[in-house]
Chains A and B, each alone.
Chain A
Amino acid sequence: MNTIDITLTVNGEHVAERVEARTTLVDFLREDLSLTGSHVGCEHGVCGACTVRVNGEIVRGCLMLAVQCDGATVETIEGLSDSGEIADLQLAFEQRNALQCGYCTPGIIAAAQELLLQAKKQGVVPSRDAIREHLSGNYCRCTGYHAIVDAVEAVAQARAGGKP
């Protein structure tokens, strides 16, 4: 029972691997699948650097085991980027210097995208407070967050039909 065969979909591709039960999702993605865009920070759910999407919802990649993803659909920053889903967020982050070292950025973009999708579904444009609250689980040690909030707010307004 210590190693288990799992099959799942990662960034649209079918994956079948044998994993140790103790392997966390983020270690599986990075070390077994070489998807190193998801980062390992605190390894206890505080920093948010390992944020990925499982079955459409963001999760901590360090607080889920790879074996729990048997049958799941997993999307990492590589998949979100390749599909073009977050192209406007990426551009806004670049234009507003919303990243410096970039270690937190994949997690922050994944979290921001979830907020923007939820807001769109509810037909609202998230306020700066709502953006800060949704991103409260993602540490950034470089930017001081203002530029990040600016970038997410700009994309929220642009997607709602306002000026970019």
Chain B
Amino acid sequence: MKPAPFAYKKVRSLEEAVGLLGEHNDARLLAGGQSLIATLNMRLSAPALLIDINGIGGLDGIAQKGGTVEIGALARHAQAERSDIVAKFAPLIARAMPHIGHAAIRNRGTLGGSIAFADPAAELPACLLALDGEIDTTGPKGKRTIKVTDFFKGLFETALGPQDVLTAIRVPSAAAHSRTGFAELARRHGDYAIVGLAACARADGKGLTDVRLAFFGVGTTPMRAKTAEAALASGNVDAAVAALDLDPQDDVQATAAVKKHLAGVLLRRVAKQLMEAR
């Protein structure tokens, strides 16, 4: 199918984008477009106006400062995949990158777009939850910083207001004691996962503390499995799998029972990664 007609405006500043969002009720922001244009082609969405933010300067940086890694909303997946800063200071995101779409998609798709779209089966929202990250936005009342725990509200629903533009994500820099793990199961490499798991922890002697397990593809948002986290921190992988506090629903890819089983398989794989030295 082909998109329904829409108007198109390429903006050069955040103020211009926020202003246009205020003037038009039925406008959408166009960043990488790798989800949005697919939905336009299928007429799952038909906005009156597309506001192309790709021409706004200074939104695609990747920098490490003051114990955090900041990634601009317009940084492309391929850029993060090649980034030494991401590899060194945000290794969980580096681990997730190769699983996101395919090479041609990663050349266009943006990190900010992936977070703002909030697909429940996407990798980056789960990474952000595991890392306890933050999201920066600019709106009509100025800048806001939203904690990840307050950001993902429901199925494709976030804390972004109708005039907010996501500008950056921030995660704590990895330290020597940081451990990360990532795994997902998909029918074809690069497709949306049936189930996936992004995890981080802190190495403490031979054990782990501060275990954070963020599953995706098992609910309407990325989900922590907190009972399993506590079990894994005490060193018992079997108990962690048995304690998996997830309640997935059937979807087109798999039944709830299969998803729950696969979540356990992934937990064992990721537990092994977390135990290894980084």
Contacts and interface: CB of A to CB of B under 8 A. Distances in A.
B50 interface: yes
Interface stretch (A19-27, A82-90, A92-100): A19-27
B78 A57 contact: yes
A64 B7 contact: no
A64 B108 contact: yes
Interface string B38-54: 10111000000110101
B5 A136 contact: no
Contact of A22 (B3, B33, B98, B189): B3
A25 to B, nearest CB: 10
Nearest to A61: B104
Interface string B1-32: 11111111110000000000000000000100
Contact of B5 (A2, A27, A65, A111): A2
B98 A137 contact: no
Contacts of B2: 22, 24, 27, 43
Contact of A24 (B8, B37, B54, B103): B37
A81 to B, nearest CB: 19
A74 interface: no
Nearest to A21: B8
B4 A22 contact: yes
Contacts of B104: 48, 51, 58-60, 111, 137
Nearest to A63: B37
B209 interface: no
Interface in B188-230: 188-191
B117 to A, nearest CB: 13
A4 interface: yes
Given A1-B8, A21-B6, A68 B52 contact: yes
A72 to B, nearest CB: 11
Interface in A28-65: 43-46, 48, 51, 57-60, 62-65
B38 A137 contact: no
A135 to B, nearest CB: 9
B1 A134 contact: no
A21 B104 CA distance: 22
B41 A24 contact: yes
Contacts of A27: 2
B103 A58 contact: yes
B78 A20 contact: no
21 contacts: A1-B8, A21-B7, A21-B8, A22-B3, A22-B4, A22-B5, A24-B37, A43-B42, A44-B38, A45-B34, A45-B38, A58-B104, A62-B37, A65-B33, A65-B50, A67-B10, A67-B52, A134-B103, A136-B188, A136-B190, A137-B105
Interface of B: 1-10, 30, 33-34, 37-38, 40-42, 49-50, 52, 54, 78, 98, 101-105, 107-108, 188-191
Q: Which 10 residue pairs spanning A and B have beta carbons closest together?
A: A137-B102, A21-B8, A1-B7, A44-B38, A136-B189, A22-B3, A57-B107, A58-B104, A63-B37, A43-B41
Interface of A: 1-2, 4, 20-22, 24, 27, 43-46, 48, 51, 57-60, 62-65, 67-68, 111, 114-115, 132-134, 136-138
Given A57-B78, A60-B34, A63-B34, 4 more contacts: A22-B2, A45-B38, A63-B37, A64-B37
